[in-house]
């Protein structure tokens, strides 16, 4: 057991759309990531998608709606819903996903999730 400083973890990388695992929670990966620009539309058939904005602002695009999400706010995309996060300026986000879930919903296009 130890304290994890999220700002320190986020300072260790500068890339966007590149989640890094910082902790384990039950059978989930707790990750930090930086968003800037648009991520492709995708969906997760078997799991919800959890986003907590730590700094900045993002927009969650759904097929029929757009939801701004600011610092200190979270957004959960239900399983099976097509979505795309985007951010005009860099946004720092905490993600929680079951271990092994590809961030694009497709293992062939998913980003690796290094542990820091």
Contacts of 88 (CB under 8 A, 6+ apart): 57
The tens place of each residue's pLDDT in the chain, 116 residues long, gives 899 999 999 999 999 999 999 999 999 999 999 999 999 999 999 999 999 999 999 999 999 999 999 999 999 999 999 999 999 999 999 999 999 887 777 777 777 888 99
Which of 54, 101, 55, 56 has its CA nearest to residue 77? 101
User: Distance (Å, rounded) from C-alpha 76 to C-alpha 48?
Assistant: 7
User: Distance (Å, rounded) from C-alpha 41 to C-alpha 83?
Assistant: 5
To 5 degrees, how large is the angle CA 33–CA 10–CA 30? 55
Domains of the chain and any CATH numbers: 6-98 (2.60.120.10)
* Residue found under tokens 């492709």: 40
Prediction pTM value:
0.91
């Amino acid at each position: 057991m130890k304290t994890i400083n999220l700002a320190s973890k986020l300072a260790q990388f500068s890339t966007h759309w590149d989640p890094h695992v910082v902790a384990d929670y039950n059978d989930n990966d707790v990750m930090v990531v930086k968003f800037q620009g648009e991520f492709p539309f995708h969906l997760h058939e078997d799991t919800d998608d959890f986003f907590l904005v730590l700094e900045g602002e993002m927009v969650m695009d759904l097929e029929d709606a757009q939801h701004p999400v600011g610092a200190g706010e979270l957004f959960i995309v239900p399983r099976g819903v097509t979505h795309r996060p985007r951010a005009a300026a860099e946004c720092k986000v905490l993600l929680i996903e079951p271990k092994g879930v590809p961030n694009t919903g497709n293992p062939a296009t998913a980003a690796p999730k290094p542990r820091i």
